[in-house]
Structure 1
Amino acid sequence: MHHLTYADIEAAADRIAGHVRPVALAPAGPSASGEGAHEVWLALEFMQHTGSFKARGARNFLQAHRDAGTLPDTGVTIASGGNAGLACAWSAREQGVPATVFLPATAPAVKVARLRGYGADVRLVGDEYAEALAACEAFAAETGALASHAYDHPLIAAGAGTLLEEIRLRLPDLDTVIVAVGGGGLFAGVATAARRHGIRTVAVEPEHSRALNAALAAGHPVDVPVDSVASDSLGARRASAMALSTAQGEGVRSVLVRDEEIVRARQSLWEERRIAVEHGAATALAALTGGGAAGTGAGAIAGAGADYGYRPREGEKVCVVLCGANTDPATLARHGS
């Protein structure tokens, strides 16, 4: 397994410069917690091409292959109806190569339409993701198309890590960055860059979709049940070995949040700021806004001793990554009208 290095992120930043949108930052204002006053910023990465941070890794992945002469004319293929599939299709169009995206036949029509809007050849296979993935692998073997990964690849994670480099340029005295974790590509990239600069990374997962938290407890990646309001984007059953090895290094905290706190954080972003994000993005914010301090109440569920939420200290400068907004805004207006 390739251990992600800071040099990988520097190379990614050079490759994607001018091809992705620089992250916008918004002050969320001074806040107070049990530990005292601190400063919170929001990284509005959901404004990125395709609506999520995934565009960075997809661009880096394809550009690196193009530079190495290993980007085939048959293009790239992926099995993902989510943010990774969108980013792959967008990046392939930017590189002028075909993207063939495999989805289960049960995929929402709106996702299929968006993928086709980016020029992808969408193929609907089977009823479950596993069947679409098997068809994708067979297609890559037959045609020589480059198989892309949703998160478990150093080029994908390094692309995601460029986000932290941009945040640090704007907030040079940043103490802590808070990111949601699914399979761990965003987390691995951001934490690797953050560690270089002495910035703490808080890895946030839903209580019932805790692949990284469980891997840390076990000392190796393990399969976890996935049952969360955020599982459309954070529903990895197993964290990557790359994410685990990153999390085992210094300067990383793994915390959990409850689904109701995720829903509340997402709703408050809409009601107070008219920001509509997906539940995965709200998961990061829920670490700050949720009621459960470390180990309270639900700590007795599956992972006793797990930390719930994150409480900044006096004077701490914190940035919360709002990583994606591919969501149905109607689910917000319904509550807040």
Structure 2
Amino acid sequence: MFKLPEQSKLFELLRGRKPDGVFFDLDGTLFERENMLHEAIAQEVRHAIEYHIRPQGLRRVHPHQVDAAYFIEHFSGAGIRDIYGNILEKTGISKEHYSYNQFSQFVGQNLDRLLQEAQEGLSEPAKEQGVGLLTSCAYDTLDFIRNIMDVPVGLGSNGSCLNISLIADCTGLSDFCCRDAYNVVSGDSDFAPKPAPDMLARLAKNADIKPDQNQKYPYSLFTGNAPSDMRAAKAAGMIAVGILEAAKPEDRGILHKSLKKAGADIIFERMDNFYDALIALHQQLQPVVRPVRSEPVYTFPVPVSIGTPAYEA
């Protein structure tokens, strides 16, 4: 749990009122699609090596040598060149038989399809386990904002509409973004991507949040993991919330400085720290119920007649 001063900072940034909306970057903040992407690439490359590009006389690649689990374990966050090098090492194929250009061209041509297939393959059990989510408290955080605080939620990403909508729907994150309208906005819509403020303004509009006289949204939060997210938030006049969770522990200090330089108003190491701060904010916003003081009831003895008592004759 964050210390009281950190939790109070969110209250101060909102000037003691409930936020109008809380919006999130998707890829890298709530979800890491590289995990899904590498799984799909690994499966495709394995089949390609086995059935299409295996040179004559080269030993057949055993399926378990280049499988999805291996890539998920070793290449979360790795670049395409790292994956290529490992494929050569695991399969014994030489660069002459399968060049990096061939591999990168294959990945580039099939990227959207690979990602789509990976996301569409999410089963209900996998969805329940939070596959692909960066943090186990993503559902709890969005649920708390939407259903306890009664504040609109929206997701915005520079990724393509197909991929972002698939991620949001397959993971169930979009369930928290449907109040009066489906509020998942992607980068291939009719407005400039982040760090321009257009996407954030659309999220606010979808949530029926009106801008102030300067066309800004000072009581809305935008949460992200990249400097472009912070710049977009500041350009839209929103409170910029940085999350460091996607970065490796040794890189978080550098990312913290980058987010701060880009205009972050408040930065949390993990999503559950942000969740704790929201809980504290909600508690601070609750009206203080004071016990009603009951007025004391005074009782007086029945007055006694002082005159001559009456006697029966």
Q: Establish whether TM, by shorter chain, passes 0.5.
A: no
By percentage of residues, which structure has more strand? 1
- Work out which structure has the larger RCO, using CA pairs closer than 8 Å and 6 or more positions apart in sequence: 2
TM-score (normalised: structure 2): 0.35
TM-score (normalised: structure 1): 0.33
